[in-house]
Amino acid sequence: MATSRLPRQLTSKYNELLRERAEGVARLKELDQELASLEYSLRLLAPEWRPPARPAKKLKPSRLPYGVLARDCLNFLKCDGELWTPELVARLAQRHRLAFPGRKEEQDFASAVAMALRRYERQGVLEVVEKDSKTQALRWRLCMDDRPTIQ
């Protein structure tokens, strides 16, 4: 079939994709070379090091700016004395007008809140007052003794 009868848009798109593919293949070769060099360097430093079987997951962008979640938790506890983790999650979501598209996103956010609270517990800023035996939720309060302050 003669090429003059083919729509120019289709042939142009095909050529564009072909160029893009060639660039992608070239980039993959570059990445393979860089990975091989890094692997060699890492094995020089630690001969027992092995590359991971799968690449690490890309971190999701946070819903709130760095430190806001932890700071707000402390403010809520300072004002109210003692609060359960689910109460803190609900207040944070309400304060920052967060809407979760699904249950998983809400649980991820609750997990981030719990991790922030645990970090403060390890620093001696917060303490667990009570644990719900059914839901495993924790009730938190600020430490009132002479333990270290927030870092």
The pLDDT assigned to 145 comes to 65
Residue 147, pLDDT above cutoff 60: no
Rg over alpha carbons for the chain, rounded to the nearest Å, is 26
Share of the chain above pLDDT 90, in %: 34
36 plus 79 within the same structural domain: no
What is the number of other CB atoms lying within 10 angstroms of the CB of residue 70? 19
Q: 108 and 76, same structural domain?
A: yes
The CATH number assigned to the domain holding 137 equals 1.10.10.10
The pLDDT, as a whole number, for residue 132 is 85
Q: Which two tokens stand for residue 7?
A: 């729509």
Mean pLDDT of 63-83: 86
User: Is residue 59 in a domain?
Assistant: no
C-alpha distances in Å from residue 24, one per residue of 27, 72, 114: 5, 45, 42
State residue 14's pLDDT score.
94
In angstroms, the Cα distances linking 112 to 3, 66, 102 are 59, 12, 16
Section 58-69 average pLDDT:
73
Question: Tens of pLDDT along 83-103?
Answer: 999 999 999 889 888 888 888
How many domains are there within the chain? 2
How much is the pLDDT for 16? 95
Kindly state the average pLDDT of the residues 1-7. 72
Is residue 88 domain-shared with residue 23, that is, in the same domain? Answer: no
> Same domain for 72 and 138?
yes
What is the structure's pLDDT at 62?
63
- Residue 47 CA to residue 44 CA, distance in Å, equals 6
Query: 135 and 74, same structural domain?
Result: yes
Q: Which residues contact 83 (CB under 8 A, 6 or more apart)?
A: 76, 77, 91, 139, 140, 141
DSSP 8-state class, residue 60? P
> How many Cβ atoms are within 10 Å of 17's Cβ, its own excluded?
10
Measured N-to-C along each axis, helices 103-123 and 68-80 cross at an angle, to the nearest 10 degrees, of 70
Q: How far apart are CA 114 and CA 88, in angstroms?
A: 9
Q: Are residues 36 and 75 in the same domain?
A: no
**Among residues 146, 147, 102, 86, which one has the least CA distance to residue 121?**
147
Residues 123 and 74 in one domain: yes
Q: At 10, list the tokens.
A: 């289709």
Do 74 and 138 belong together in one domain? yes
For 9-56, write each residue's pLDDT tens digit: 999 999 999 999 999 999 999 999 999 999 999 999 999 988 888 877
pLDDT averaged over the chain?
86
Q: Is residue 150 part of a domain?
A: no
